[in-house]
Structure 1
Amino acid sequence: MAEPLPSLMLPASSWLRASTHRRWLDLQGQRLLDFSKPSRVDEGFAPLGNDGRLISGEQADTILTARMTHVYAVAAGRGLPGCAPLAAHGVASLLGPLRDQAHGGWFAGAEQDGKRPGNGRKQAYLHAFVSLAASSAVVQRIPGADGLLDDALAVWDRHFWSEEEGVFRESFAADWTDEEAYRGANANMHSVEACMAVADVTGNPLWRHRALRIAERFIHTFARNAAYAVPEHFDLDWTILKDFHKDKPTDDLRPYGMTPGHFVEWSHLMLKLEAALLREDGTAPSWLLDDAIGLFDCGTRAGWARDGAPGLLYTVDWELEPVVHNRPHWCQAEALTAAAALLKRTGHAAYERWYRTIWDYIDLHMIDRRQGGWLQELDRNNRPSAVVYAGKADLYHAWQATLTPLLPLAPSFATAVAILDQ
């Protein structure tokens, strides 16, 4: 893939300019894709264990299925064999057994013996990924993708979007009653990514401007006022819930405190949003760059090597003191992605150093050259752990980290691949 590098400011010695490094990224991405292919099951995709085999008794997971559909659709656009059929399987699963045929929308998995998986609620986090998957599948003309995108956007718009607040609501009961009295940064963060992708695919800038409204509230208001530490949990009056899940510090989606990995994830999303808005009409708020820099600085300061060992830890408290020291793989992937985005946007040598430092850490500690894939979590001493994340279910974060350095900041993944490979 020949990327038009977005900045002549990149240092001549940057890894991003080195053909050998770019080939290495491509190879690592292909290895991740191959490792995750056995996750296909009849009703979608299911988690893999550390050995790359399906975990006994696990059923298709809707979030995982949506993420796999997105990844394999984009990979299909790069001409990689085996990926388009997997994306098609994901689309069919999301239209079929994983969808609520009675009320619309999606649960965490297919019904088993008349019982809904998880807590039986419909989550904004999950629906953001269904929308992302559908948009990526549309770009690659995967059968059924247009219908899936129409369905997903209708549900997303009608039930989850709050025009008054400029954010996505969190969750509902099966029949769309009983709205949860909660507003969450995590679901809205992934909604920013999905909104940008949907805007690129549909040509409707409404979705891009919804992404901007989300960023204005969560980042330019709350995070900026907290020196770029990102509060995660709010009630319906937008009061920060500082004790939320204090009894569940290792929760995988809504842990207690704050998550430095999300600080850096928001950082690169601010840059992608800036680039997307500039690409739309040549204008973008100047604060998007300022906030991206502040978020990365705060995230690395709060989370990197806080206990003497390298790696970005999971959570911190309201004084930015470590709570969960374990290092999830996705935190490292998002820090890497943010460093690459800031390097492309600014050309500053500090981000080149971070980019190399984080890849060195991932290479030496997280890439599993014995059983394949990436270790999903390490403890504070960088030994394999499974306190928050067991097995090797996730492809999405790691694989995107291998592709992001090869792409411009805008448009979004699937659209950029389609344009650059023409």
Structure 2
Amino acid sequence: MNENQLLLPGSQSEAGFWIETSRHRDWLMNEAKRQLTFFSASCRDEPGFHTLGHDGSPLPGKLQELHTTTRLIHSYALGHLSGFKGAERIIDHGMTFLESHHRDRDHGGYLWALDGDQIKDDRKLAYGHVFVLLASASAKLAGHPDADKLMTDVRSVLEKHFWDEEAGLFRDEWNRDWTPFSTYRGMNANMHGVEAMLAAFEATGDEIYLFRAGRILDFFIGKIAPSENWRLPEHYSSDWQINRDYAGDPMFRPSGTTPGHSFELGRLQLQHWDLSGRTDPNALDRARRLIAQALNDAWLPGGGLAYTLDFDGRVANASRFWWPITEAIGAVAALIALDRRPEDEEWYRKLWTYANETFVDHQHGGWFPAVDGAGAVVTSIFDGKPDIYHSLQACLFPLSGRLSRMIPLEKPEYSDKPQTPFS
């Protein structure tokens, strides 16, 4: 047996569902620990985090965006909850940087980007602020002593500046002093708002989070998706009409639809249904339609998922990035947990096999951000290995055996004392 065979996430000959086998579950946990070990090198000796190259060495520059800080807090909180020793150091480092650098002492809220100690981008974005809420909820679940203070602060900012009670959705962006920046409205910030509010509900039990997450889901999956053949347009006007002519940043606000976001929203719909007592008779069917449409539209010849689609489902940008695969894995794993069907297992094995053969870096750890049609690593818009958040969740969510977040029956004790990384 060669090395690659030893590293396969499961055996294609095994009957049943991979997530029920010890071989696959052991593989998932080992891969999660390899990622947590690799990204532990992100922590600077000074405030902030490094971006890591493919080999794990720090890249030059000190630019740090809000979603990077908060996703590292969230990811290592999940690592702490799964027993990874040393996660506390990353959580503490991120929480300190949020307070010392991202938090705007003059106007309130959180600044989007810092370059060392200098403000690089002072916009106030809903996308960034909902990730602050996610970080605070995850840190609270991990037992961090400053989590409640952070959650109280970001909740008040979201309430005052971003939440549109009439629409039941988040507004997107402001200048630093909270003067209007644009009338843009988007799905992405709202989707991650659902993610953050479900986490906040689990951390606090406050049902306002569950209720508001449901309102966002009702708009996008209950209203928009059925009228768009189960595809989700990304961009909207200030009165929440689809803006089909929007042409923003082609990589970070691409036109058309983004199937990776359909996977995320589908999984979040299932999570919300689970946390709400599974009372909505239509939630499971809506989530399945959304996930299935994205898989069928976006799966490319030779493997991989297209980055974007036209409104009718034709491939617009065939770039193969790592994160849509991870979100598809999480979505299909959620379906298997609730409504297992043979076709779900077929997709689950296909997705993991492709990810393992192309994106997982078996030499250094972490995942490569982009590959070509032949599965070879390519240079992309992403520097180095930019993110642990997506790929870590792809490993941990199937292991949890539930649709809510990975919360063990007995939480590991939180300590701010230095610990040895996983051994």
With normalisation by structure 2, the TM-score equals 0.90
Matching of residue 336 in structure 1 with residue 329 in structure 2 = yes
What are the superposed Cα offsets for residues 91-135 of structure 1, whole Å, 9 maximum, x if unpaired? 111111121111111112236675x323x2111111111111111
Matching of residue 58 in structure 1 with residue 62 in structure 2 = yes
Tell me what 1:169 maps to: 171
Matching of residue 33 in structure 1 with residue 52 in structure 2 = no
Matching of residue 105 in structure 1 with residue 119 in structure 2 = no
Change (3 A) 1:324 1:376: same
Cα distance, 1:35 vs. partner? 0.8
What are the superposed Cα offsets for residues 224-272 of structure 1, whole Å, 9 maximum, x if unpaired? 11111001000112221112126x43x23x1121111111111111111
Aligned-partner Cα distance in 1 for 2:89–2:363 = 28
Tell me what 2:282 maps to: 287
Matching of residue 377 in structure 1 with residue 370 in structure 2 = yes
Tell me, which stretches of 5 or more residues in structure 2 are unaligned?
Answer: 1-13, 414-423
Aligned-partner Cα distance in 2 for 1:303–1:81 = 38
Tell me what 2:265 maps to: 266
Tell me what 2:293 maps to: 298
Tell me what 1:188 maps to: 190
Aligned-partner Cα distance in 2 for 1:21–1:375 = 21
Does structure 1 retain, via aligned residues, the 8 Å contact 2:62–2:115?
no
Counterpart secondary structure, 1:417? coil
Counterpart secondary structure, 1:60? strand
Cα distance, 1:319 vs. partner? 2.3
Identity %: 35
For residue 210 of structure 2, the aligned residue among 203, 208, 211 is 208
Cα distance, 1:179 vs. partner? 4.6
Change (3 A) 1:418 1:104: farther
Cα distance, 1:86 vs. partner? 1.1
Letter in 2 for 1:375: F
Cα distance, 1:372 vs. partner? 2.4
Change (3 A) 1:95 1:389: same
What are the superposed Cα offsets for residues 149-203 of structure 1, whole Å, 9 maximum, x if unpaired? 1111111122111110001110111111115201111111111110001111111
Tell me, which stretches of 5 or more residues in structure 1 are unaligned?
Answer: 1-10
Tell me what 1:4 maps to: none
Matching of residue 46 in structure 1 with residue 37 in structure 2 = no
Aligned-partner Cα distance in 2 for 1:207–1:151 = 15
Tell me what 1:140 maps to: 142
Aligned-partner Cα distance in 1 for 2:409–2:370 = 33
With normalisation by structure 1, the TM-score equals 0.90
Counterpart secondary structure, 2:106? coil
Tell me what 2:19 maps to: 16
Cα distance, 1:387 vs. partner? 3.0
Aligned-partner Cα distance in 2 for 1:406–1:297 = 22
Change (3 A) 1:421 1:94: closer
Cα distance, 1:291 vs. partner? 1.0
Aligned-partner Cα distance in 1 for 2:157–2:304 = 38
Aligned-partner Cα distance in 2 for 1:320–1:143 = 47
Aligned-partner Cα distance in 1 for 2:134–2:232 = 23
Tell me what 2:317 maps to: 324
CA RMSD of aligned residues (A): 1.9
Counterpart secondary structure, 1:110? strand
Aligned-partner Cα distance in 2 for 1:290–1:60 = 40
Does structure 1 retain, via aligned residues, the 8 Å contact 2:52–2:385?
yes
Aligned-partner Cα distance in 1 for 2:117–2:339 = 55
